[in-house]
Amino acid sequence: MTTRNMSIFRLGGWAALASGLVSAVGFVCLALMYALFAAGSASAALAFGWVNDVLAVVNGLLMLPVTVAVHALLRSQRPTASRLTLMIGIGANLAIVVLQSLLVIGTLTFQQEIGPVLVAFLFLAAWFVTTGYLGSSSRLLPNGIRMSVLAITYVAYPIWAFWLGRHLLNRAAVPVSSLSAGAEREERGLPAGATR
């Protein structure tokens, strides 16, 4: 592991924790929106819905360093699959950010935005499942599949985000001075026992 990877893990870890918090607040706003609609207070309901839409933009931006950090974690074991998954994750999150931003500023109506954003969420769900599988199979993210299913449910997304954030921050906490020469060789793509 290099100091660059440790910085990526640290940024991704804190972004995942922030994403979990933002998502939890967004879920509360969404629940309040439906409750207020049921109570007949449409104007207040729409205000909470707007806040939820803004938080979806923030969450999509926070997910960008998370996808990069997960790729940095998984690429040593499955480089091709991890690279493909990275592109899916970044593409899905950018699409969500753009579509939700257009909804927030009023360029798109909810009816115009909902179809494309659901497609983007399907790609994001594919990212969750694929990274969960890669993490579980490589043992770099234990219980990765189970946790990725939680993320897809939206309600339990904060649990996944806090779990992933903790794993990434634990990776970042390894002191550079304790890194073995074998690990450094592996990072450069050399076999553990290779010499120059």
Domain range spanning residue 65?
Answer: 3-171
Residue 75 included in any domain: yes
Residue 33 in domain: yes
Instruction: Write down the pTM of the prediction.
Output: 0.85
Residue 164: name the closest of 187, 131, 137 by CA.
131
Residue range 87-105: mean pLDDT, rounded: 98
Rounded distance, CA 120 to CA 124, Å?
6
Q: What is the pLDDT of residue 193?
A: 39
Q: Domains in the chain: how many in total?
A: 1
pLDDT of 176 over the 70 cut? no
Task: Report if residue 60 sits inside a domain.
Answer: yes
Give the model confidence (pLDDT) of 97-144 as tens digits. 999 999 999 999 999 999 999 999 999 999 999 999 999 999 999 999
Q: Residue 29 pLDDT > 90, yes or no? A: yes
Q: What share of the chain is helix, strand, coil (3-state, %, to 5)?
A: 80, 0, 20
Distance CA 170, CA 149 (A): 22
- Is residue 101 situated within a structural domain? yes
